[in-house]
């Protein structure tokens, strides 16, 4: 057999491993991407389920105050900071029997229309980390009206009812389904690459 023929057959024998290595890398990349996307959706789903559980505790026993960012103060638990917000106390029957704990000073009785300040629940290191406007969810806890959560304006409506709780549970279910779809898509992608490599 001629030298050229040897080179031809050697080239033929070496080609499949190159294709196999390339296919292997594609499979690894597909698996990694699928795992990352599935984890993102799964974590988001768990957070939504957790929020739905917390909102359910406050349904029918809460009110909302809108606030604008003023400054920041040391967080009570971590080494980060919380935003301090100012707002006007709206009319709500919860004010009649419960002193307001703003998370900054001792609880005090406040009136409808009174200007208040309160500690937000977001954490950060500098002013730019905090939203300029929030809605604070106030609920009765241990006999006092406290800021339970702060989020973007409109997140709680006029207060927590069964509707936002259901909405959060639906959102959590959709995110869980997307996580499962990501896993299924990853499995399909790997099988497709394996078929193509043969």
Domain range list for the chain: 3-55+167-197, 61-159
* Cα distance between residue 59 and residue 196, in whole Å: 54
Q: pLDDT value at position 172? A: 81
Amino acid 38: pLDDT: 86
Cβ(74)–Cβ(81) under 8 Å? Answer: yes
**The whole model's pTM is what?**
0.58
Instruction: Report the alpha-carbon distance of residue 107 to residue 131 in Å, rounded.
Output: 25
Q: φ and ψ at 117, to 5 degrees?
A: -120, 155
Tell me what the mean pLDDT of segment 78-84 comes to.
92
- Of the chain, the percentage scoring pLDDT greater than 90 comes to 34
pLDDT digits (tens, 9 = 90+) for 29-62: 878 888 888 899 889 888 888 877 777 777 777 8
* 12 or 81: which leads in pLDDT: 81
Q: Sign (positive/negative) of CA torsion 8, 12, 17, 18? A: positive
CB 135 within 8 A of CB 156: yes
Instruction: Grade residue 157 by pLDDT with cuts at 50, 70 and 90.
Output: confident
Which pairing describes strands 62-74 and 133-141: parallel, antiparallel, or unpaired? antiparallel
In this structure, the number of other CB atoms found within 10 A of the CB of residue 149 comes to 21
Tokens representing 29?
């990349």
């Amino acid at each position: 057999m001629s030298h050229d023929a040897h080179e031809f057959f050697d080239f033929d024998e070496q080609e499949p491993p190159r294709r196999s290595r390339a296919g292997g890398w594609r499979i690894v990349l597909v698996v990694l991407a699928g795992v990352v996307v599935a984890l993102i959706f799964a974590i988001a789903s768990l957070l939504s389920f957790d929020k739905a559980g917390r909102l359910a505790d406050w349904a029918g026993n809460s009110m909302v105050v809108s606030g604008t960012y003023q400054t920041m103060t040391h967080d009570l638990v971590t080494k980060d900071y919380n935003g301090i917000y100012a707002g006007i106390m709206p009319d709500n029957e919860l004010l009649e029997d419960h002193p307001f704990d703003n998370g900054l000073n001792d609880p005090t009785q406040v009136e409808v229309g009174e200007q208040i300040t309160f500690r937000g629940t977001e954490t950060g290191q500098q002013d730019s980390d905090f939203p300029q406007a929030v809605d604070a969810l106030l609920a009765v806890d241990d006999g006092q009206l406290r800021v339970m959560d702060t989020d973007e304006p409109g997140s709680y409506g006029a207060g927590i009812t069964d509707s936002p709780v259901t909405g959060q549970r639906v959102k959590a279910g959709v995110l869980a389904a997307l996580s499962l779809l990501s896993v299924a898509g990853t499995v399909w992608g790997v099988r497709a690459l394996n078929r193509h490599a043969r």
